Amino acid sequence: MSPTVADSSSPTMRDLPWPRRFTLGSEPADAERMRELLRDLGAEVWACVRALAASTLDVPQLEFKLVAGEALFTLVEVVTGIEDRIAELGGEPRRQLDHASADRLAAALRVPSAQRTRVLAAEWLQRLVGELRALPCDPLLDGPTERVRRRALRDIVEILEWFDEAGLTVPPDGATATAATRTQPVPAPKAQPVPAPKARPAISDGRPALPARPGTGARDDRFTTFEHTRDYRKAADWQSSGTAYEDDLVELLRINRDEIDAIETFALALYDLVDEAPLEVLRHLARLAWDEARHTAIGHALLAARGEDPFRFQCSMIGIKVRGAMDGWGAWTQITLFGELGIVGPMRRIERAAKERGDVLTAAAFGYICRDETMHLRSSRDLITRHHPAGSLAAAEAITRQRAGALLAQFGILSEEQYQALDNRQIFELLGE
């Protein structure tokens, strides 16, 4: 006669002297079934990454862009754990959209931006919470999956809390969301009819076409914008502070405040490359989006600490205007080779100058930003070298330079001949990071 497992409420099970996680469940999924459930769950997380990434451009609120930058990294960390566990169980992850997910994503991207954040919370993030809570992993037999599930659940609930705290789930009547609603479904508004985005060409193997993502970023109406350059001293609102140090500091704070377009650039690269890039590239792009959200907030906060209204400074749009018209590989390469390299030197100089003046906060802020940007440059160059379809860093740079020149000519900013005459420093001054 085969032995049976006692009910978990029986004295035998209840009195075992070890943690609850070392207690058998009653109906665990077997390893093969769990592997398939995790593949479906991972695909759903990637679909959510795409919905958030495209919305990072569509939704103008600064608060959303900051939350989205960190949420993208959090979700990619979550799916990294899921994919690692799938591999341990002998399977391969699935990232491609199926037809149902493609339809859901297209519908989400048709929702007006004013309602989008509530839909993302209610129909995407809450869906992930529900799937994680329902995952039938036994805490003893399948402890590694249970740990992935438990940590992912905490992380995604925290994203919902960020949405709540930033006012992104406030109902239309203006009532404030409370802590009690943070992990409860938020009623989704009815989507208003708007033109559907044009889908990309269908994929030859029968998979659904990926819905088109936006090509440029929307800006918070608290900002005024300019788009002919990233040189703030050529902006209509530029006023000298009276000293070279103060002028350089204000300029660099504005550059960091305007890393909004860097968040958007890396979000677009994520959106484009989920199917084709290796996980290390996708995780790096998500980390870049998070870091640039932090840099944006640092620039904004330090301008405010100086007694300024950060929104009074005009916001440059030229970077996302050009990069948004490129594919994911091109946008990432352009910002890496012509943007991040140009920003490190000036920020190191302002860090040293701030230390000399005893400005501890400014020195610490630029010290951390410089370290982030140095890591971005080093890691991005390595990953582009190894994975860019062009086959080498030099080839990727040449393709990207040519594409940017064509776009600037198309936008009427420079002729292609004028652009090709620029050196890398001048390109940085024109397009920024």
Q: Which CATH number belongs to the domain containing residue 75 in this structure?
A: 1.20.1260.10
Residue 7 placed within a domain: no
Residue 297 located in a structural domain:
yes
State which of 146, 181, 216 marks the end of a domain.
Answer: 181
Higher per-residue confidence, 197 vs 404: 404
**pLDDT tens for residues 136-172?**
988 888 999 999 999 999 999 999 999 999 999 876 5
Predicted confidence at residue 179, as pLDDT, reads: 34
* Same domain, residue pair 172 and 237: no
Question: Do the domain assignments include residue 142?
Answer: yes
Q: Are residues 30 and 171 in the same domain?
A: yes
- pLDDT band at 133; cut points 50, 70, 90: very high
Average pLDDT, the chain: 85
Does 98 fall in a domain? Answer: yes
Is the pLDDT at 425 greater than 70? The verdict is: no
257 and 111: one domain?
no
Clarify whether residues 172 and 264 are in a common domain.
no
For residues 176 and 232, state if they share a domain. no
Whether residue 8 is predicted with pLDDT greater than 60 in this model: the reply is no
Q: What pLDDT, on the 0 to 100 scale, is given for residue 65?
A: 97
Residues 259 and 378 reside in one and the same domain: yes
**Residues of the chain with pLDDT > 90: what percent?**
65
Same domain, 67 and 123: yes
Residue 80 is assigned to a structural domain of this protein: yes
Q: Is residue 341 part of a domain?
A: yes
Using 50, 70 and 90 to split pLDDT, how confident is the model at 18? low
Q: Identify whether 253 is part of a domain.
A: yes
The predicted pLDDT at position 199 comes to: 44
**pTM score, two decimals?**
0.86
260 and 146 fall within a common domain:
no
Supply the range of the domain harboring residue 123.
Answer: 22-181
Instruction: State how many domains the chain has.
Output: 2
Assess whether 360 and 427 both reside in one domain.
Answer: yes
pLDDT in tens, 63-101: 999 999 999 999 999 999 999 999 999 999 999 999 999
Task: Please indicate, yes or no, whether residues 61 and 164 belong to a single structural domain of this protein.
Answer: yes
**Tokens (6 digits) for 4:** 């049976």
164 and 293 both lie in a single domain = no
* Whole-number pLDDT of residue 296: 97
Using the predicted structure, report yes or no on whether residue 388 has a pLDDT greater than 70: yes
Residue 211 counted as domain residue: no
pLDDT in tens, 251-263: 999 999 999 999 9
Residue where a domain terminates, one of 145, 165, 181: 181
pLDDT score of 214 more than 70: yes
- Across 241-257, average pLDDT: 91
Same domain, 93 and 28: yes
